Amino acid sequence: MSKIAFVFSGQGAQYPGMGQELAQVSPAAKAVFDMADAIRPGTSDQCFNGTKEDLTITSNTQPDMFVVELAAANALLEAGVEPDMLAGFSVGEISALGFSGAVSPEDAFRLVCRRGELMQEASNEVSTGMCAVVKLPPEKVEELAAQADQVYPVNYNSAAQTACAGLSTSMADFRASVKAAGGRAIPLKVAGAFHSPFMHSAAVGLVDVLAPLEFSTPKYTLYSNVTAQPYEDGMYKELLSKQVENPVRWQTIVENMVAAGVDTFIEVGPGDTLTGLIKRIDPTVTALHVENAATLQAAVAAVKG
């Protein structure tokens, strides 16, 4: 039986004006922005009118991405498109968590606000960088990273793309070794070495943030970045704190969802990065995205006919 998965965008896809059309055409989407503004005043204005520079500050990026992603997912639900499974890429996993019903959207939003602050603070502790390595298999990237000084594979995006993070002083030599091996390393414009050991202080901080939260069984099956498997009851606090300092196993998540019956993926939130990755992982599936009025209408039409 065919199934639908909503997948929630990752950091780096943000852009000025994101989510504004959704708030204009969908009452369910607007309600998400209203919720966010009540907790973190100015969130909507930052999404709609903030500069590119404002939106790339991690402590802004994460709550802003969350609200646009949750708004897009709720707009789809309002239009009669309901998922069977959920997954989010990095910060997108917190958006998926808030949509899943495992915690309230309000608690998930407070969590993502603090997560962004903690990861920003960790990024400020040491100079680091990230790059996307293409044209090399993950095993080769792991080998090259192991030979470098504190460089780590952090996002297993597809068979031919692995993102790495490491010390700024090591990245030039690492990129050179990638080129010598026949690959290409593309620098990423991010604020820190996300999903690497450099985020350990953020992981420790999240333990305290997560401690008072009460988790329920989600309405929709939710996949973990850390394990690439569905969450089990009792594992949320451990995996959500570990997530920031461990790799995102995106390719395996998508493969596991397909094996579980998913044949339609809808990326919710800014951009279509995940849509492209999913089509490279499995060209046989349908991959759509929703970020504005036109893409919302197109996705609903594609699913409902």
| Residues acting as catalytic residues | 90, 195
Count of CA atoms in the C-beta half-sphere (13 A) of 62: 24
Identify the three-state secondary structure at position 79. coil
Q: Which long-range contacts (CB under 8 A, 24 or more apart) does 274-281 make?
A: 274/7, 274/9, 274/10, 274/89, 274/92, 274/250, 277/157, 277/158, 277/161, 277/250, 277/251, 278/7, 278/254, 280/158, 280/159, 280/160, 280/161, 281/158, 281/159, 281/251, 281/254, 281/255
Cα-Cα-Cα-Cα dihedral sign, residues 199, 204, 209, 214: positive
The residue to which tokens 């080769």 are assigned: 140
- Residue 35 contacts residue 43 (beta carbons within 8 Å): no
Question: What three-state secondary structure class fits 42?
Answer: coil
Is 219 within 8 Å of 104 (Cβ atoms)?
A: no
Q: Under 8 Å CB-to-CB from 180, ≥6 apart: which residues?
A: none
Per-residue tokens: 140:
């080769």
Within 10 A of 296 (CB to CB), how many other CB atoms are there? 24
Identify which of 64, 63, 81, 65 has the alpha carbon closest to the alpha carbon of residue 26: 81
